[in-house]
Amino acid sequence: MRLQYGWVIVAAGAMMGCVAIGALFSLAVFLQPMSEATGWSRTGISTAMTLDFLTMGIAAFGWGALTDRYGPRPVVLAGAVLSGAGLALASQASSLLEFQLVYGVIVGIAAGAVLAPTMATVTGWFDKHRAIAVSLVSAGMGMGPMTISPLASWLLTSHDWRSAQLIIAIVCWVLMIPAALFMRRAPETAPGMAATPGGADPGMTVGQALRSPQFIILGLTYFFCCATHSGPIFHTVSYAIACGIPALTAVSIYSIEGLAGLGGRLLFGLAGDKFGAKQTVIFALVVQALGAGAYYFTRQIGEFYAVAVVFGLAYGGVMPLYAVIAREYFPMRIMGTVIGASSLIASLGMSLGPAVGGWIFDTFGTYGWLYLGSLIMGLAAAGIALAFPSAPVPQRSAPQPA
């Protein structure tokens, strides 16, 4: 029965991640119409996303610690309420600074309450199929560009940006609050978890974990990985429009990336279970770097679609595997804090792309340097990941369930 309910946790986490992360990233669709309607610069609007990533990471650390102590349900329920509230308040902002603070802080805090706690919770419900389970939750998050972004684009054809953003806020409440009620802490005797001496040190403290070489390598890899894809994810719609592609078609590139990311999460999740998370992460990071760099040479819609597929597969597939690697090195009782701390570091990398990309465009009138910089960051991430030590090998005293 515990194993079956684990898949309920996966479904609820995927739903919440899809809506929360999709709503946050929908700002990329609002970027041009907001700038035209308000006169706010792209750099200024993009800064709200930078604040989102920073506050999401800081909040994820705190939310993760609260998840370890109180369980995931109150944490993700708070995130559901805040997600809709942040979008609703941002839609009524009267100045750029007000928008930056509301969207960049409240929406970021809300996303942090969903990302790290759900990932940490799912790792506790599975052992044998952990990589694919975590990847399925992440796949829900990857569906955000396929759902919320097209919804935002469609709403903008008949509503102004304020009304469209308010409608998305209501969608967040309607979908996320019921899903949050299904979240539950993994039992100590979750399948395959009771007999794992020789795996992660059960007596490890939070301080020991955060000072360990394993966490340092995890954090650095995560940072450079997110620095690689944050700019291309956020600015590719605007880049495509600058290349002469119609707005609705340009948004479809964003959706193609999301669809490819969904496939990547499933593909690399299965590969992580079969070949090991470390090896799979290194391969995905190299592909991600090459995909980001390929945007530099892209001009036509067919080229955008081709690169979006490769890039989406890689960045979508690699993201959930960091939680799988963390679970190999650290005990479940501090997993929320560990994943929250790694998410904090990753958010610093994510925060670079939107603001730096906006500054590059405003300064040079092109996004070329953004994609070349992403290529370098991606190769650096793959190089750092090579330093991951071998994970402890669990010794089981009971047969592993199918």
Does a structural domain hold residue 194?
A: no
Domain containing 245 equals 2-184+207-385
Instruction: Name the domain count of the chain.
Output: 1
Residue-wise pLDDT tens digits, 300-329: 999 999 999 999 999 988 888 888 888 888
Q: Which long-range contacts (CB under 8 A, 24 or more apart) does 42-45 make?
A: 42/238, 42/358, 42/361, 42/362, 43/355, 43/358, 43/359, 43/362, 44/96, 44/100, 45/96, 45/99, 45/358
Q: Per-residue pLDDT averaged across 107-135, rounded?
A: 86
Does a structural domain hold residue 6?
A: yes
pTM of this prediction exceeds 0.85: no
pLDDT band at residue 188 under the 50/70/90 scheme: low
Instruction: Give the domain CATH number at 311.
Output: 1.20.1250.20
Does a structural domain hold residue 102?
A: yes
Does a structural domain hold residue 321?
A: yes
Does a structural domain hold residue 343?
A: yes
Does a structural domain hold residue 401?
A: no
Q: Which of 82-91, 342-351, 371-380 has the lowest mean pLDDT?
A: 342-351
Does a structural domain hold residue 128?
A: yes
